[in-house]
Amino acid sequence: MQSNMILIPIALAILGLLFMLIKMSWVKKQSPGSEKMQQISKSIKEGALAFLSAEYKLLLIFVLIASIALFGISMFVETTSWMIVPAFVIGAIFSALAGNIGMRIATEANARTAEAAKTSLPQALKVSFGGGTVMGLGVAGLAVLGLSLFFLFFTNHFMSSTGDFYGNMTIVLEALAGFSLGAESIALFARVGGGIYTKAADVGADLVGKVEAGIPEDDPRNPATIADNVGDNVGDVAGMGADLFGSYVATVLAAMVLGNYVIRDMSATTQFTDDFNNMGPILLPIVIAGVGILASIIGTFLVSIKNNDAKEAQVQRALDIGNWGAILITVIASYFLIQYMLPETMQMNFFGEGSKTIPSMNVFYSCIIGLAVGALISMVTAHYTSLGKKPVLDIVKNSSTGAATNIIAGLAVGMKSTFLSVLLFAAAIYGSYELAGFYGVALAASAMMATTAMQLAIDAFGPIADNAGGVAEMSNLEDHVRERTDILDSVGNTTAAVGKGFAIASAALTALALFAAYVTFTGIDGINIFKADVLAALFVGGMIPVVFSALAMKSVGKAAMEMVQEVRRQFREIPGILEGTGTPEYAKCVDISTKAALKEMILPGLITIISPILIGAFFGAEPLGGYMAGVCVSGVMWAIFQNNAGGAWDNAKKSFEAGVEIDGKMTFKGSEAHKAAVTGDTVGDPFKDTSGPSMNILIKLTCLIGLVIAPILGGHHSDAELSPNQVIESIEALNVANFEVEISVIEDKATATVLYVKDGKSFKETYAGSETSVRADIEKLKNSLK
Amino acid sequence: MQSNMILIPIALAILGLLFMLIKMSWVKKQSPGSEKMQQISKSIKEGALAFLSAEYKLLLIFVLIASIALFGISMFVETTSWMIVPAFVIGAIFSALAGNIGMRIATEANARTAEAAKTSLPQALKVSFGGGTVMGLGVAGLAVLGLSLFFLFFTNHFMSSTGDFYGNMTIVLEALAGFSLGAESIALFARVGGGIYTKAADVGADLVGKVEAGIPEDDPRNPATIADNVGDNVGDVAGMGADLFGSYVATVLAAMVLGNYVIRDMSATTQFTDDFNNMGPILLPIVIAGVGILASIIGTFLVSIKNNDAKEAQVQRALDIGNWGAILITVIASYFLIQYMLPETMQMNFFGEGSKTIPSMNVFYSCIIGLAVGALISMVTAHYTSLGKKPVLDIVKNSSTGAATNIIAGLAVGMKSTFLSVLLFAAAIYGSYELAGFYGVALAASAMMATTAMQLAIDAFGPIADNAGGVAEMSNLEDHVRERTDILDSVGNTTAAVGKGFAIASAALTALALFAAYVTFTGIDGINIFKADVLAALFVGGMIPVVFSALAMKSVGKAAMEMVQEVRRQFREIPGILEGTGTPEYAKCVDISTKAALKEMILPGLITIISPILIGAFFGAEPLGGYMAGVCVSGVMWAIFQNNAGGAWDNAKKSFEAGVEIDGKMTFKGSEAHKAAVTGDTVGDPFKDTSGPSMNILIKLTCLIGLVIAPILGGHHSDAELSPNQVIESIEALNVANFEVEISVIEDKATATVLYVKDGKSFKETYAGSETSVRADIEKLKNSLK
């Protein structure tokens, strides 16, 4: 049993997928409503599927090229097996599949939710949350299944009882990184493409429909309506599904890699052994992930309301109970799992501080720090973006003097929200590292991500409810249906904001864990920004998220303009369209969004993927580390800034729907202040749904690429480090890889550092004394290695 | 002569100040125009002086507290003399003086420029540029005079022919850093306070005047008009003067400190000597600065136009000739100065690469890199912000679909402009470092700043012309007067944008030079972001510019709202105000801006100053280095983003004045698209005139504070680095400071590092071998030090 511990997550993943199938068939069994509703639902589904299949075709080319490149790497790098290629391809396919499952169920659930809302709010919640549950379990199940099956397969293939454990495990994890790379690359394109699609349609539909023609949201007379609803599915659902799939895999992978370093550190004196095939610290994160699926399933049962007259607060509480229930179960399980699977104390090397003895409970405390900081960051996010709180009210107040002051206020809110978020985040890094090194950091992230299934269920039910409202509006259902779906939608907006707090915190911690794995893997002496090339790379890295965001926003602006022109044209040219007698050409608008999204997602995607490769290839491992850090620092700021500014603008606009008091006067929809708030919301749209959420993927993907290409950077690193009085020794005669000597002589003292890799382990020897004695020492070492 | 080289910059600074006095009396001799014009000019001057004196009173408290703190530091730190306190105070006074001189001449020159424009454009240029010249020479003259006099005094006081040169010079430069710290602190408050003042008045005046009441800019019926014009002077003139004074001093200081390290490195084998009291590398930057003043004076003679019908292009060319003339003279002079003052080859330690031999000409090439990159960044800036170029046209085009798309486009332009700017900047770091280490980086910055007098003259003439236009408008002068001042104003906007390119590039390079000086000074082993505390501090540092910008923007928004309310009140309550028969209460608006600016500048200022002190005190030297790097990386991005977005919005709005083609139709002022562009411009106002330009000061001040408190961080550093198996040796018995031993034993090999400071020099010894032998080696070393 213990030695087959990997079977546990496999079993739990399968359980999750089975439960998903049950839930899926339950949702499909619900009444899909009138023919008109089915028709609308079908149009949305077809538009979304058409986009996804066009997207996948384009991504096929990317996967092909990347596979060839990875195969090339695996050919001339010892620690990379060619099996990274199938792992990469399957990762990409699973990621697409995760998005696809979510999208299909969401487009099935929308009309069914509207239909259920005809009779009861509890039932509408059940259907929409059921749809979310399918998606959440699909993502989590596929992620854990893929990771653990590949891990099982790779360990059987590469690990031998005789060979060097650390070296072989490195090959296993490097191949497994391919799975994560595939998932995260697809996630990037899906997020950016979906984000451009949805916001081009949304902004375009709003600008002409709401503002110019004065017709309500989701009105069937608006030619961009279907595109708008398709957008919700390809952006908020499929994009988010692929995104979280990628995050989840990357987080678990990073923790596994760092677990391998723990084993290496502990094997420095005597070979590490435990009851789990000697790989307890590596297996722990994936077992926790598996348990998180089970906890999420239990959590979904806790989500229900009884009262048909329930308001936002009750729905919110139902979701909170489910969410925190799942988290609590996971925490308790983690406590026992950590006690069970980790040795009581562990030896870890702390950079610059030598080896420390760490009690395994420190790892648990790191998890708690992760969860606490995640929850606190979510609270900060909620504070800055919620209706009725000071920041949003501030924006509302500033709307009374026009769009300009509304925008200034919104930007300021987004920027200001970085303060507490970043302090908390810095505290999480510091605290979890102090407790258990970068393994602690990785497990803090893993703890945050463990209940991904549940969190995604909560996140995904929002767009389903939103779409249900659209279906209700387009099929002219009674007002109370829309009111009920609006309650669900509104709660969905809040949970989405809270989810974003967890998402960015866990993404950043994961990125740091990957960064740590990268530094350890390359064997470089940390990332020292007192070196000019590293510092320059730090700046270049810091620029990437900014330019990425600019490209995404510009794409949205461009596509929205095209959409506006097209809608205006239809209003002008199709007779009777505004009276409801002419039929708009919905397909043309769908087509514009599709083409724009596919075209515009390429450049930001390629910049993300190619830049780190170029930096690594031309400047070496340490500058690439600086680049990664720059991307992370800047990416975190811009993610928080954009997400929160966008969220705050959105709710400032929504405040006018119920009416708000400005300078003692009640102000409503349709007022000048409301118009200013609509402008702010439109600016915020690409912030919060296109560029903002892409930042998470950007920073993780950057670090993942670094980790995957790390094995080929060793040589460059030595180049970059070479100075006139360094000597590269020929390694041909030696039984090691990458033998580097650095001697520096100051006054009459010489110091020398020798770096070399033997049996997959890197060694560093330091000598000091007179130049003659140091050179003699090095000769002695060389002879011992021949 | 050679040994009194410091007298050269003193003489050149005095020459500059004399020329300034001549120019000042010439400007004052020009006709100040009609009584009404004089009256208006006087109101502006009085408002500005009232603000400045209120500001200075508040800053007196700050200077007092900071002086006490500095005195405290000097009491218990060996390398800091109490003379840092007078240096700090004089630095603060000079900075205020520099702003004050500029502000006084600008308020004198505005009406005189308007009067001159009655008869001729060449004369108007002469007067306005004359005003700018006074300011430029005042700033540069005071900076060079203050620095070189203090340097002369301190070297006479602290340097003895017998003592340790490096140690004594460190005390000299540490005291001199006080001068820079004083200048930069005042600059920060002046920039933020002035920026809030000017934009609160501007935004307030525009929102009610232009947008609501439909009266033109600078109309005397608008109660906020005087406040608006006062704002131009306290923000764009006094704020900029203090800012550039601080920049200039910081840049020269950083280069001098790094010059001292060059001398230390070269003294490693034999004591460095040269004909300049053995301090050629330290004196070089200040001599170049002195020569820059002379070159600027010559340059000002090249600025003139002949033709009364000249357009923007001719005026621009006249300024370009002057600017590039001055730069060319400085470059040629630098070539000979470098040959003359530096040894033919220099030994420099490159971190992690050991000692390298650098030909002195490499320093010259670094200067060329600095100038080339500065010019290229300016071109990039110009591209993204100039009328008629694609980015601005893009914003114009996006204005046709409303304010939201205008804003999205403007944000995207600002964000995108970071791409080339940062790449160029990274290339400058990399290139100048490769050529001549951080001394090269510092001299690249010095070269950019050398012609500060000329650049400031060009920068300052813009607001003078802008104010002249205001005076013309308010005194109902003939239209051709306003046309002429508008030509000057428009050129001023372009040169301001170009100047900003230089400013941010030089500020960032200066910050890096200070950063390098800090790392070297503290003797830490670089800044390694693979340590969790350093990484956490990097994130916290990255957050500071964002929050700083948020506070500045929010302050502008808040004060502008108050201004709007007040103007609305006056329009409502003062009879006949809009018909021109009632007199607005200008003073009330001036008062609102003054109070808001003073109140709101405090928090961002204190955050900037206190945060690095807290980080240093609680976490030690290396995390503080990470914090500095975070501030620099993030600050550079946000500076470029905000400045360029603001500039682009401004010119997108201006495009409508001459009319622009959108989708084949000519669109003018007053159109819906123009209104959208006005909204964008209003959002851009605080970006480009409040938060954006403050970033430069923020990053430099952060690094300066680090440098000043560096001496007290040594102890914390050793704490932070300690791990269970490290041993702190008692230093009481030893003849050294700060003796630290780190021993780490892995398998049967021990390595040890010993750090200690002797005679102001820090030493690092490394030992390896068996644990016994290593401990014996350390004992041996200890005995040798007793």
Q: Residue A769 has what DSSP assignment?
A: E
Q: Which residues contact A115 (CB under 8 A, 6 or more apart)?
A: A30, A31, A32, A33, A37
**What integer pLDDT is reported at residue A269 of this predicted model?**
72
Of A402, A550, A749, the CB nearest to B416: A550
Q: Which two tokens stand for residue A770?
A: 């007179």
Q: Which amino acid is at B198?
A: T
**What integer pLDDT is reported at residue B717 of this predicted model?**
34
Q: Where are the domains of chain B?
A: 9-718, 722-785
**What integer pLDDT is reported at residue B718 of this predicted model?**
33
A318 and A303 in contact (C-beta within 8 Å)? yes
**What integer pLDDT is reported at residue B354 of this predicted model?**
77
Q: Among all chains, which residue has been given the structure tokens 């095209």?
A: A562
Task: Please answer yes or no on whether B408 and A531 come within 8 Å at the CB atom.
Answer: no
Rounded to a whole number, what is the distance in Å from the CA of A7 to chain B's nearest CA?
34
A87 and A77 in contact (C-beta within 8 Å)? no
For the segment A318-339, the average pLDDT, to the nearest whole number, is 94
pLDDT band at A670 (very low <50, low <70, confident <90, very high): confident
Digit-coded pLDDT (tens) for B250-293: 999 999 999 999 988 888 777 788 888 888 999 999 999 999 99
Of B550, B641, B680, the CB nearest to A416: B550
Of A527, A553, A564, the CB nearest to B408: A553
Q: What is the CA radius of gyration of chain A?
A: 27
Digit-coded pLDDT (tens) for A41-57: 888 888 898 898 889 99
Of B422, B543, B561, the CB nearest to A540: B422
Q: Which amino acid is at B389?
A: K
Alpha-carbon span B206 to B211, nearest angstrom: 6
Higher pLDDT, A768 or B348: B348
Helix (H) or strand (E) segment spanning residue A230: helix A225-231
Digit-coded pLDDT (tens) for B206-225: 888 877 788 887 888 888 88
Helix (H) or strand (E) segment spanning residue B741: strand B737-746
Alpha-carbon span A277 to B428, nearest angstrom: 52
**What integer pLDDT is reported at residue A581 of this predicted model?**
85
**What integer pLDDT is reported at residue A718 of this predicted model?**
33
Best A377, A405, A662, A740 member to test B by mutation, with max B CBs in 10 Å, is A405
Digit-coded pLDDT (tens) for B451-503: 899 999 988 888 899 889 888 888 888 888 988 988 898 888 778 777 777 77
DSSP labels for B99-145? Answer: HHHHHHHHHHHHHHHHHHHHH-HHHHHHHHHHHHHHHHHHHHHHHHH
For the segment B763-783, the average pLDDT, to the nearest whole number, is 71
Report CA torsion sign: B419, B424, B429, B431. positive
pLDDT at residue B739 is higher than 80: no
Q: List CB contacts (< 8 A) between B530 and chain A.
A: 351, 516, 519, 526-527, 625
Task: Please answer yes or no on whether B404 and A682 come within 8 Å at the CB atom.
Answer: yes
For the segment B600-611, the average pLDDT, to the nearest whole number, is 92
Task: Please answer yes or no on whether A766 and B751 come within 8 Å at the CB atom.
Answer: yes
For the segment A73-99, the average pLDDT, to the nearest whole number, is 88
Best A422, A628, A662 member to test B by mutation, with max B CBs in 10 Å, is A422
Of A354, A531, A683, the CB nearest to B404: A683
- Average pLDDT, whole number, for chain A? 87
Alpha-carbon span B191 to B245, nearest angstrom: 12
Q: List CB contacts (< 8 A) between B726 and chain A.
A: 353-354
* Nearest residue in A to B269, CA atom: A747
For the segment A70-78, the average pLDDT, to the nearest whole number, is 84
pLDDT at residue A262 is higher than 60: yes
Alpha-carbon span B620 to B603, nearest angstrom: 24
Going through B154-242 in order, the beta strands assigned E by DSSP cover none
Q: Residue A210 has what DSSP assignment?
A: I
Q: C-alpha angle with apex B636: B631 to B642, nearest 5 degrees? A: 115
Q: Closest by alpha carbon to A294, among A136, A151, A152? A: A136
Q: List CB contacts (< 8 A) between B680 and chain A.
A: 404
Best A535, A723, A748 member to test B by mutation, with max B CBs in 10 Å, is A535
Q: List CB contacts (< 8 A) between A549 and chain B.
A: 415
pLDDT band at B748 (very low <50, low <70, confident <90, very high): low
For the segment B673-686, the average pLDDT, to the nearest whole number, is 92
Q: Closest by alpha carbon to A424, among A392, A363, A379? A: A379
pLDDT at residue A726 is higher than 80: no
**What integer pLDDT is reported at residue A494 of this predicted model?**
75
**What integer pLDDT is reported at residue A749 of this predicted model?**
61
Going through B408-500 in order, the beta strands assigned E by DSSP cover none
**What integer pLDDT is reported at residue A762 of this predicted model?**
62
Digit-coded pLDDT (tens) for B61-88: 999 999 999 998 888 777 778 889 999 9
pLDDT band at A730 (very low <50, low <70, confident <90, very high): very low
Task: Please answer yes or no on whether B429 and A351 come within 8 Å at the CB atom.
Answer: no
- Which bin fits B620, alpha (ψ -120 to 50), beta or left (φ > 0)? left
Digit-coded pLDDT (tens) for A495-544: 877 777 777 888 888 898 899 889 888 878 789 999 999 999 999 999 99
pLDDT at residue A759 is higher than 80: no
**What integer pLDDT is reported at residue B154 of this predicted model?**
92
Digit-coded pLDDT (tens) for A182-229: 999 999 999 999 999 999 898 888 888 877 788 887 888 888 888 988
Alpha-carbon span B282 to B165, nearest angstrom: 12
Alpha-carbon span B13 to B764, nearest angstrom: 42
Digit-coded pLDDT (tens) for A124-142: 999 999 999 999 999 999 9
pLDDT at residue A599 is higher than 60: yes
Cα pseudo-dihedral A505, A506, A511, A515, rounded to 10:
100
Task: Please answer yes or no on whether A408 and B557 come within 8 Å at the CB atom.
Answer: yes
Could you report the predicted ipTM of this complex, rounded to two decimals? 0.88
Alpha-carbon span A217 to A489, nearest angstrom: 14
Higher pLDDT, B308 or B143: B143
**What integer pLDDT is reported at residue B505 of this predicted model?**
84
Q: List CB contacts (< 8 A) between B536 and chain A.
A: 426-427, 429-430
Rounded to a whole number, what is the distance in Å from the CA of A405 to chain B's nearest CA?
6
For the segment B17-38, the average pLDDT, to the nearest whole number, is 93
pLDDT at residue B49 is higher than 60: yes
For the segment A294-298, the average pLDDT, to the nearest whole number, is 96
Considering the entire predicted model, what is its pTM?
Answer: 0.88
Alpha-carbon span A740 to A723, nearest angstrom: 12
Task: Please answer yes or no on whether B532 and A438 come within 8 Å at the CB atom.
Answer: yes
Phi, psi of B535 (to 5 degrees): -65, -45
**What integer pLDDT is reported at residue A714 of this predicted model?**
57
For chain A, the first-to-last Cα distance in angstroms comes to 43
Best B406, B408, B556 member to test A by mutation, with max A CBs in 10 Å, is B408
**What integer pLDDT is reported at residue B356 of this predicted model?**
85
Alpha-carbon span A183 to A193, nearest angstrom: 15
Please give the interface size between A and B, counted as residue pairs whose CB atoms are below 8 Å apart.
307
pLDDT band at B745 (very low <50, low <70, confident <90, very high): low
Q: List CB contacts (< 8 A) between B632 and chain A.
A: 539
Of A354, A551, A747, the CB nearest to B268: A747
**What integer pLDDT is reported at residue B2 of this predicted model?**
60
DSSP labels for B626-653? Answer: HHHHHHHHHHHHHHHHHHHHHHHHHHHH
Q: What is the CA radius of gyration of chain B?
A: 27
Task: Centre a 10 Å sphere on the Cβ of residue A724 and count the other Cβ atoms it contains.
Answer: 10
Task: Please answer yes or no on whether A553 and B415 come within 8 Å at the CB atom.
Answer: yes
Q: Closest by alpha carbon to A401, among B596, B207, B586, B334? A: B207
Taking the mean position of all CA atoms in its chain, how far away is CA A227?
25
Q: Among all chains, which residue has been given the structure tokens 């409502």?
A: B572
**What integer pLDDT is reported at residue A786 of this predicted model?**
67
Best B348, B356, B380, B405 member to test A by mutation, with max A CBs in 10 Å, is B405
The lowest-confidence range among A5-14, B320-329, B689-698, B773-782 is B773-782
Alpha-carbon span B331 to B368, nearest angstrom: 8
For the segment B224-234, the average pLDDT, to the nearest whole number, is 88
